[in-house]
Structure 1
Amino acid sequence: MTFIAIVDGAITTVALPSIARQFGLTTAALDGVVVVYPVCLAMAIPASAWLVERFGAKRVLLTALLAFLGSSLLCGAAPDLGRLVAFRAVQGLSAGVLFPASSALLFSTFDSWEQVRISRYMIIPQQIAPAAAPILGGLLVDHLSWRWVFYVNLPVGLPAVLFGALFLAEHRGHRPGRFDLTGLLLSAAALGAVMFGICEGPNRGWSSVAVVTALVAGTVLLAAAIVFELRTAQPLLKLRLFTDRLFRDTNLINLVGLVPIMGAMYLGPLFIQQGQGRTALESGTSTFPEAFGVLLTVQIAGVLYSRVGPRIIVGCGLAWVAAVLLLFATCDAHTGLWTFRAYMLLLGIGMGGVFMPTTVASLATVARRDLAQASTLNTVVRQTGGALAPAAVTTALVLGTPAAAAANPPVTAYQHAYLVLAALAAATALFAFTLPDGAARAAARATTTVGRTKPVARRRVDAA
């Protein structure tokens, strides 16, 4: 389920030139088609935990998926830019509920050791999706139409809806209190404004009126939302969960650590196409090996998790990422594609030691009744980190480029950007080695022992 939402967030960029020709516009004029998706996604996330607790994770998940598929159909059939942007907004709102609802259902169904095992398989679509999106988008646009980058969600999503309706087990947490409308308005406005500022900063310039206004307003609204939610008896976002050090530290690692990781994924295609002047197909096939590295390491990390704990795995994973980014910083205009592909494979090996352990560990000490709330906060953090990555890369490129060459950065600018990302990964690795993971390791060991001494009741599996 999450596969199509991740693909949809990345695949649309490939279709922008074709959409511009269809509507007789410039590609720059279609900026709203891309930006409205993460903005609306961020605005919908705060309400997801309350919806899951009120109506049940299965019902919310399937409703969000149906809304996502319906808006995909409408996007593909959109006759003009205005309606395309409106339907993309609905897509973003649906995805904002879909991500935390699927996580809440997964982690409420399985115990800590089973979560490690399931995450080893869940990581497959999560890593294949962003790697495959550019290639899939190019094939659809070239051989069919830009409309198929939206229509393609239907043959994938409809069977998932049917499977979920038949096999997903229902889960509902404790009965939620009164809906926190003020908290929703403050948090949604804050996250939407911040996300807009982060996404548009590299395009419009960080000093532009729109970006500065959005970031300042978003910061003020975010501060107001935090104060209000901490003083509310039944908040929409249970920010008190961040008083748990393991939950807080793993989320901080996710927020900062995602920047060098996703930044490298964003920078790679730019380097190959703009720095080396190669084709989009060469770019797509050269960044794809990262997924294989992740799939390899996550299997090993799953086996080691209960033995050594997430602290060592995550710290070593981020240190490995930092070392590989230093290798990328040596690439120049003459670096061969197979060398670059080898580096991407090595990057994926490091990434595989970060994603799964931090996600599972973040929920190890969270009470079962708070899983929906914790999943929602995790999603907010990951989406923010993902949005910061391209902004950081673009800013690093500009800082390493003379003003006269800003439109076409030289290879040295890309090398500078890789060095910045390496430094950030190294700093995050040092912090990861301070992670208090005793409780996470104990929980995994306890459930492993239970699983070996007596049969575990069979559960229906989340199809996310």
Structure 2
Amino acid sequence: MSVHDVLSRGTPNPLRNQRVVIPIMSVFTIFMVIVDGSITTVALPSLARQFHLSPAGLDGVVVIYPICLGMVIPTSAWLLERHDGRRVLLLGLALFTLASGLCGAAENLQQLIVFRALQGLAAGALMPVSQALIFRTFTQHEQIRLSRITIIPQQLAPAIAPLLGGSLVVAFSWRWVFYANVPVGLAAVVFGLLFLGEHREHRAARLDLAGLLLSAAAMGSLMYGVCAGPDHGWATPAVISALMGGAALLGLAIRHQLRTDQPALRLRLFADRLFRKACLVGLVGLIPTMGTMFLIPLFLQQAQGRDAFASGSATFTEAFGVLLTMQAVGVLYQRVGPGPIIGGGLLGVAVVELLFATCDADTGLWTLRLYMFLLGVMMGAFFIPVTLASLTTLDRADSAQAATLGTVVRQFGMALAPTVVTTVLVLDSGHGGHADISTPVAGYQKAFLVLAAIALFTGLYAFSLGRQRRMPEAESTGTANVHAAGAAQGVRQALTARTPE
């Protein structure tokens, strides 16, 4: 007799209800991945001292993670359609936890890079799989209502991670930044083994090996080019080769998958107008939102000369702004639809960027905290509404593929955000390497203006998403035969592409 059989007897237990269990698993997963991305950047200066390198010498540790993450994402839809979602999610969590412990125990830089790559491979499956389980179960209205609760830990994770990471590095060492994942990961795996039920898509998906290999190679090559370009120079042979090779592989992957009956990535979903537009808005909209989250710590530490703790305390207020807005978005979405909410939110982001552009070396911390809070208020109108809009007119049977394509788009947006910021700073500083302390305050102000322009044009385009609010089966999917459960997740992942020196 299994533990699950014992627990299934006796008095009713809410943990027997998968509509309760999967939101908990989702929070575990997202919290751990987000904290890992945010907390790791704090440890890089300590890592540089440990291995007698400059922070620039740790590019391998930084870049390998998004490369491996991007390579695995295309396989996640096939894994979920072919295999039990429970097994895929738990194996991913176990691998991520193991890799975290190995990163902390690494004896040299080469080992750390290998184990960091293993983390990226696991994380590439965790995000889209957990999201797809959610989209299969809840109606759009239920997702919005649940998101008002699940967004809390998702927003607190990147807010507390820099403070937690700084404390661990100061009190112990950089190794504990990775060890911090282990107890959370073990708890998630044990909880899933006890309470998470089987979630199988009853679809005999054929393995499109050629499509998977082409997609993974294209993603890996493009991610390397985008992440390494600002640091090494866009004209360097390695970056040019990566971008050109990635573009060629991407073209081959698209050609192959449009001609295949059961492709690794169902690109035909982009024929849906609302899905296509929402993905485009999500991709470009991440540049000003996440770009600002990357730029503010740089501004505080390099232009104003503040320490990491002051930087973390200044950006912390953004999370409260997002949480505040999310309480209203659920009601407004059902009344006015995605276009006005997302468009208005991005226009608000543009206004806040203009406020940041007025800051200089003497601007006080509380002024910056206020601006960060306002940024969070506007970002809350962008994140979850754009994800929900992308699924409004799609069949629920396509949820795994839609989640995978959405994750691919968001991953590129996450990589482009710091790339745009760093490129502007490097060009303004007159140096061919990193944006460093020699970058004048005017360079940061110019970067904020560039982000404001991007937010403005994206916001205006977002109004074309219209006012369509419900998926075709929004009122008829609350049946007992639902195989998975969850809540709409925020798309905010920590930026792991670059870090201030």
**TM score, norm. by length of structure 1:** 0.94
- Higher relative contact order (Cα pairs below 8 Å, separated by 6+ residues): 2
The residue type equivalent to 1:428 in the other structure is T
The residue type equivalent to 2:270 in the other structure is F
1:411 Cα deviation from its structure 2 partner: 0.7
Q: Aligned residue for 2:337?
A: 309
Q: Aligned residue for 1:421?
A: 451
1:177 Cα deviation from its structure 2 partner: 2.8
1:179-227: per-residue Cα shift (whole Å, max 9, x none)?
Answer: 1111111110100011111111111111111111111111111111111
Distance 2:252 2:441 in 1: 43
Count of matched residue pairs: 458
CA contact (8 A) 1:104 1:375 kept: yes
1:377 and 1:401, CA in 2 relative to 1: closer, same or farther beyond 3 A? same
The residue type equivalent to 1:153 in the other structure is N
Which of 387, 394, 402 is equivalent to 2:415?
A: 387
1:446 and 1:99, CA in 2 relative to 1: closer, same or farther beyond 3 A? closer
1:50 and 1:403, CA in 2 relative to 1: closer, same or farther beyond 3 A? closer
Which of 347, 350, 356 is equivalent to 1:322?
A: 350
Q: Aligned residue for 2:23?
A: none
Q: Aligned residue for 2:219?
A: 191
Q: Aligned residue for 1:145?
A: 173
Q: Aligned residue for 1:49?
A: 77
The residue type equivalent to 2:349 in the other structure is V
1:341-379: per-residue Cα shift (whole Å, max 9, x none)?
Answer: 000000000000000111112112211211000000000
1:286-323: per-residue Cα shift (whole Å, max 9, x none)?
Answer: 01100000010011001111111111111111111011
1:402 Cα deviation from its structure 2 partner: 4.1
Q: Aligned residue for 1:63?
A: 91
Gapped regions of structure 1 (runs ≥ 5): none
1:445 and 1:49, CA in 2 relative to 1: closer, same or farther beyond 3 A? closer
Q: Aligned residue for 1:255?
A: 283
Matched, 1:340 2:368: yes
Distance 1:237 1:459 in 2: 23
The residue type equivalent to 1:434 in the other structure is S
Distance 2:398 2:472 in 1: 19
Distance 1:278 1:99 in 2: 34
Q: Aligned residue for 2:18?
A: none
The residue type equivalent to 2:111 in the other structure is R
Distance 2:261 2:51 in 1: 50
Gapped regions of structure 2 (runs ≥ 5): 1-28, 490-501
CA contact (8 A) 2:93 2:185 kept: yes
Q: Aligned residue for 2:495?
A: none
Q: Aligned residue for 1:123?
A: 151
Output aligned runs, 1:12-411, within 5 Å. Answer: 12-403=40-431, 407=436, 408-411=438-441
CA contact (8 A) 2:338 2:466 kept: no
1:210 and 1:53, CA in 2 relative to 1: closer, same or farther beyond 3 A? same
1:248 and 1:458, CA in 2 relative to 1: closer, same or farther beyond 3 A? closer
1:459 Cα deviation from its structure 2 partner: 9.1
Distance 1:193 1:428 in 2: 27
More helix by share: 1
1:136 Cα deviation from its structure 2 partner: 1.6
Residue aligned with 1:433, SS:
helix
Matched, 1:412 2:438: no
**TM score, norm. by length of structure 2:** 0.87
- Alpha-carbon RMSD: 2.1
Distance 2:467 2:217 in 1: 35
1:335 and 1:26, CA in 2 relative to 1: closer, same or farther beyond 3 A? closer
1:5 and 1:297, CA in 2 relative to 1: closer, same or farther beyond 3 A? same
